[in-house]
Structure 1
Amino acid sequence: MTAGEIEQPAAPVIPDAEVESRRTDAVATAFDAGGGSHLLIDQLSSRLDSLALLSEHDMSAFDSALETFGTHGLVEQQMITELSSTEPIAHPERFSEAHRRAVRALEVFDRNGARPPSVLPVWAIARRPAAQVVQLLTTAIVRNHQKRLIRDVRQLYALREANSATDSPQQVMLARARTQMDAFVADLNKSSLPLPAFLVGGAAISGTLSVIRSSFNADWSRYLFSAAFLVLGLVAFWCILKAAGIARRRTRIALDASVKALYEVIGSAGSPPHDHSKLFATVATVLLIAVWVVVPVVVASAAITWPWEG
Structure 2
Amino acid sequence: MSDPGLVDELILDRIDALKVLRASTPEEKDALLERIAGSGQAERDIVKELSKVRPLWRPDRFEEAHRMAMRSLEVLDRNGSRQAKMPRLGPLKPVAAYVVEQMTRWIVKGHQNTLVTRIRKIYERREANAQWGTPEHMMLRRARIDAARVEPGYKGNPLGIPTFLLGGAILSSIASSLRAFITWAFQDNLPAVIVFALVLGAVLAGLAWAALYSAGVARRRIRLSTEQPMRALWETIGACGNPPRDDSNSFAVYAIVLLVLAWVLVPLAAWILVSTFT
| TM-score when normalising by structure 2 | 0.77
Aligned to 2:58: 91
What CA distance in whole angstroms lies between the structure 2 residues aligned with 1:174 and 1:219? 68
1:215 maps onto 2:215 in alignment: no
Aligned to 1:282: 253
1:189 to 140, 149, 155: 155
Q: Secondary structure at the match of 2:190?
A: coil
- Per-residue CA deviations over 1:135-187 (Å, capped at 9, x if unaligned) read 01111111111011100000000000001001111000000001111221111
Aligned to 2:31: none
| Gap change, CA 1:71 and 1:268, over 3 Å in 2 | farther
- Per-residue CA deviations over 1:94-131 (Å, capped at 9, x if unaligned) read 001110111111111010001111x2113342222211
Q: What code does the residue aligned with 2:131 have?
A: A
Aligned to 1:106: 73
1:262 to 218, 233, 251: 233
Q: Which has the higher contact order (CA 8 A, sep 6+)?
A: 2
Identify the range of structure 1 (235-244 vs 155-164) with the bigger mean alpha-carbon deviation: 235-244
Tell me how far 1:212 sits from its aligned partner.
5.2
Aligned to 2:16: none
2:146 to 165, 171, 180: 180
Identify the range of structure 1 (222-231 vs 265-274) with the bigger mean alpha-carbon deviation: 222-231
Count of matched residue positions in the alignment of Structure 1 and Structure 2: 232
**Higher Cα Rg, which structure:** 1
Contact in 2 for aligned 1:90/1:266 (Cα 8 Å): yes
Aligned to 2:120: 154
Aligned to 2:30: none
Aligned-pair Cα RMSD in Å? 2.6
What CA distance in whole angstroms lies between the structure 2 residues aligned with 1:78 and 1:181? 26
| Gap change, CA 1:242 and 1:208, over 3 Å in 2 | farther
- Per-residue CA deviations over 1:19-68 (Å, capped at 9, x if unaligned) read xxxxxxxxxxxxxxxxxxxxxxxxxxxxxxxxxxxxxxxxxxxxxxxx79
What CA distance in whole angstroms lies between the structure 2 residues aligned with 1:303 and 1:128? 34
- Per-residue CA deviations over 1:57-92 (Å, capped at 9, x if unaligned) read xxxxxxxxxx79x75112210111001110000010
| Gap change, CA 1:294 and 1:124, over 3 Å in 2 | closer
Contact in 2 for aligned 1:113/1:247 (Cα 8 Å): yes
- Per-residue CA deviations over 1:2-27 (Å, capped at 9, x if unaligned) read xxxxxxxxxxxxxxxxxxxxxxxxxx
Q: Percent same amino acid at aligned positions?
A: 36
What CA distance in whole angstroms lies between the structure 1 residues aligned with 2:138 and 2:258? 50
Structure 1 residues without counterparts, runs of 5 or longer: 1-66, 197-203
Aligned to 1:138: 104
What CA distance in whole angstroms lies between the structure 2 residues aligned with 1:130 and 1:227? 19
1:241 maps onto 2:212 in alignment: yes
Structure 2 residues without counterparts, runs of 5 or longer: 1-33, 167-173
Tell me how far 1:210 sits from its aligned partner.
9.3
Aligned to 2:91: 125
What CA distance in whole angstroms lies between the structure 2 residues aligned with 1:304 and 1:163? 69
1:295 maps onto 2:256 in alignment: no
- Per-residue CA deviations over 1:250-309 (Å, capped at 9, x if unaligned) read 0000000000010001000001011111111111111111122111121111111223xx
